[in-house]
Amino acid sequence: MPHPILERLTGQHPVNRPVIGLAPMAGVTDIAFRQICEQLGADYSVCEMVASKPELLQTPKSQSRLHFTEHATPNIIQIVGNQPDEMAMATTHYIKQGAEIIDINLGCPAKKVNGTGAGSALLQSLDKVEAILRAVTAVSTVPVTLKTRLGWDHDNYTLLDIVQIAERVGISLITVHGRTRACRFNGNAQYDLIGQAKAATPLPMIVNGDIDSVEKAQQVLQQTQCDGIMVGRASLGNPWLFHTIRRELDCHFTAHDSAIDKIQLACKHIAHTQQLYGGITGVRYARKHIQKYLQHLTGTPDLFKNIASIDNAEAQLDVFAALLDNHANEDYADGLKTP
Ligand SMILES: Cc1cc2nc3c(=O)[nH]c(=O)nc-3n(C[C@H](O)[C@H](O)[C@H](O)COP(=O)(O)O)c2cc1C
């Protein structure tokens, strides 16, 4: 019997396919990128993490992370913090702002976050984790989920403990990045421990870490028996990955993904980013995506060495216009070859 949270995440009743989510990535998965990923087949996306400290709830940065996509997917806000009462207050605040699912960050390895005892630092203090989860679920009027890692380091795998706490306090879904905090992003994600945790709980579980192809998605789902996957870095410059995985898992989904369609979508992304942030901030936000798009579109990111020095959105778009011209000419040349 599929859990209602999966139905909410997929919009399907009953759920008869694995869920595919876009991972939260601070500084990357803003509304412009999430919108595109959902359009291309991601069942849901999570906003970039937001602070729970009362003095940070209304900052322009927190506010800018509260944009929700136009798709019929749930508005998921991920909160990060270390104090149960602050996390509870933040929950109430973000629900008022439109959050339909509250996700708790128990995985961020950043020094700035860990230095305040938040993110993956909480994995060293399971009592604190329980206190936070209890405080949040007690006030939340929407489902509460969490995202965690395997543990602090290889001598301290805490995933099974976290799962037990989650069950006790009424968490609706767990996402696991298959690394410890000590690994940060090094080495390979370990899926065996995620599979063991999944087998030990009735809670829905999403597997995350290093999923970058259809084959990997299928293998990881098979190995862990999880209810879905979450894709992060591999979608950068290649949001079509959601479409490709969705198509293979469903065998019927179709969307356009020719080179020209891809270039046009990249342009739409840049234009939306510029519209969101304006000026040089928009240019900077778009830059990291542009480099990744070029890598996937041309296989030769060095072709456009001066991308980092371009300081206006129009010139950024011109790079893609030039690519579009090249592709149009290729198509024309192909046409001439046709008998
Ligand atoms: C730039 C960047 C920012 C991230 N920000 C967050 C975040 O805000 N919240 C979170 O839970 N995880 C964050 N993560 C971790 C990802 O959600 C994901 O767990 C991790 O990248 C592993 O998945 P992947 O191999 O598919 O990228 C971030 C990762 C990156 C690379």
User: How does pLDDT run across 194-252, given as a tens digit for each residue?
Assistant: 999 999 999 999 999 999 999 999 999 999 999 999 999 999 999 999 999 998 887 64
Q: How crowded is residue 98: how many other Cβ atoms within 10 Å of its Cβ? A: 11
Q: How far is CA 35 from CA 77, 243, 273, in A?
A: 15, 13, 11
Q: Based on the domain organization, do 266 and 240 belong to the same domain?
A: no
Q: What is the per-residue pLDDT for 338?
A: 35
pLDDT for res 329: 62
Q: Are residues 244 and 266 in the same domain?
A: no
Do residue 213 and residue 158 come from a single domain? yes
Count Cβ neighbours within 10 Å for each residue of 297-313 and write b for 16 or more, e otherwise. beeebeebeebeebeeb
Same domain, 225 and 295: no
| 220 contacts 245 by C-beta, under 8 angstroms | no
- 26 plus 173 within the same structural domain: yes
Give mean pLDDT, residues 128-137: 98
Residues 296-300 have a mean pLDDT of 71
CA 304, 24, 35, 44 torsion: positive or negative? positive
* 3-state SS assignment for residue 316: helix
CATH assignment at residue 133: 3.20.20.70
pLDDT in tens, 269-285: 999 999 999 999 999 99
Residue 48 CA to ligand 1 centre (angstroms): 9
- The DSSP code for 46 is B
Res. 102: pLDDT tops 70: yes
- Expressed as residue numbers, the domain containing 288 is 259-337
Across 99-106, average pLDDT: 97
* 321 or 339: which leads in pLDDT: 321
In this structure, are 230 and 298 located in the same domain?
Answer: no
Q: Which of 250, 273, 288 is the last residue of a domain?
A: 250
The verdict on whether residue 232 carries a ligand-binding annotation is: yes
Looking at the fold, whether 49 and 71 belong to one and the same domain comes out as yes
195 marked as part of a ligand binding site: no
Token pair for residue 268? 């739409």
> Does one domain contain both 315 and 280?
yes
d(CA 193, CA 226): 12
The stretch 5-13 carries a mean pLDDT of: 86
Distance CA 24, CA 234 (A): 13
Q: Nearest residue CA, atom 4 of ligand 1? A: 25
Residues listed for the chain: 339
Number of domains the chain contains: 2
Which domain-ending residue is among 203, 221, 250? Answer: 250
The pLDDT of residue 260 = 80
Question: Is residue 183 among the annotated active site residues?
Answer: no
The set of protein residues with a Cβ atom below 6 angstroms from ligand 1 is: 23-28, 48-49, 78, 105, 107-108, 147, 177, 208-211, 231-234
To which residue do tokens 């860990």 refer? Answer: 114
The reply to whether 327 and 181 lie within a common domain is no
Q: Are residues 98 and 50 in the same domain?
A: yes
> Which of 37, 47, 108, 226 is an active site residue?
108
Rounded distance from Cα 309 to ligand 1 centre (Å): 27
Q: From CA 110, how far away is CA 138, in angstroms rounded?
A: 28
- Same structural domain, 23 and 72: yes
Task: Report the percent of the chain where pLDDT is more than 90.
Answer: 71
Sequence letter at residue 36: I
Q: Give the type of residue at 122.
A: L
Domain endpoint, select from 233, 250, 267? 250
Tell me the average pLDDT across 100-113: 96
pLDDT score at 253? 44
Name the closest-CA residue to atom 19, ligand 1: 177
Average the pLDDT over 91-116 and give the result. Answer: 95
Mean pLDDT of the chain: 90
Give the model's pLDDT for residue 335: 40
Pocket test for ligand 1, best of 177, 180, 206, 289 (most atoms within 8 A of CB): 177
Residue 258: is its pLDDT beyond 80?
A: no
Residues 78-83: what's their mean pLDDT?
A: 97
Ligand 1: centre distance to CA 29 (Å):
10
203 and 319 housed in the same domain? no
Q: What is the pLDDT of residue 208?
A: 98
